[in-house]
Amino acid sequence: MKSLERPILKVADFGVAQHIGKEGSKSVRGTPMYMAPEIINTNNPYDNRVDLWSIGVILYECLFGRPPFVFSTTDELIDQIISNLPIEIPNDPPISADCRNLLERLLQRDPNQRISFEEFFQHPFIFDQINVQIQEADDIMQQAINYEEIGDLKSALDHRLRALEEYASLRRIDNDPERRQCLRMKINQGTVIAENLRKRLREPLESSPTTTTMISPPSPNLSPSNELDLNSDKELSEAYQHCLNGNQYMNSFVYAKACEEYEIGLSTMLRIAKNETDRDKIKILHNVISHYLTKGEICKTRLETQRWEQTLEKIKKDSSADQPSRKSFSMSHPSCRLQ
Predicted confidence at residue 19, as pLDDT, reads 55
Domains plus CATH for the chain?
32-122 (1.10.510.10), 130-209+312-328 (1.20.58), 217-310 (1.20.58.80)
Predicted confidence at residue 325, as pLDDT, reads 39
Distance CA(258)–CA(250), nearest Å, equals 5
- The pLDDT > 90 percentage for the chain reads 30
Distance CA(202)–CA(307), nearest Å, equals 13
Per the DSSP assignment, residues forming a β-bridge with 25 are: 46
| pLDDT tops 60 at residue 3 | no
Helix (H) / strand (E) element for 255: namely helix 255-275
Per the DSSP assignment, residues forming a β-bridge with 46 are: 25
Distances (CA, A) of 248 to 59, 149, 180, 268: 46, 39, 45, 19
Residue-wise pLDDT tens digits, 4-51: 444 455 656 655 555 555 554 445 455 788 888 888 876 677 888 888
Predicted confidence at residue 2, as pLDDT, reads 46
Residue-wise pLDDT tens digits, 313-332: 888 777 666 554 333 333 33
Distances (CA, A) of 280 to 126, 183, 199: 63, 62, 44
| pLDDT tops 50 at residue 222 | no
Predicted confidence at residue 64, as pLDDT, reads 92
Predicted confidence at residue 211, as pLDDT, reads 47
Residue 314 CA, distance from chain mean position? 13
Distance CA(246)–CA(214), nearest Å, equals 12
Mean pLDDT score across all residues of the chain = 79
Distance CA(67)–CA(182), nearest Å, equals 42
Distance CA(128)–CA(124), nearest Å, equals 5
| pLDDT tops 80 at residue 199 | yes
Distance CA(279)–CA(159), nearest Å, equals 46
Residue-wise pLDDT tens digits, 247-263: 999 999 999 999 999 99
Residue 53 CA, distance from chain mean position? 23
Predicted confidence at residue 31, as pLDDT, reads 76
Most confident residue range from 32-36, 126-130, 295-299: 295-299
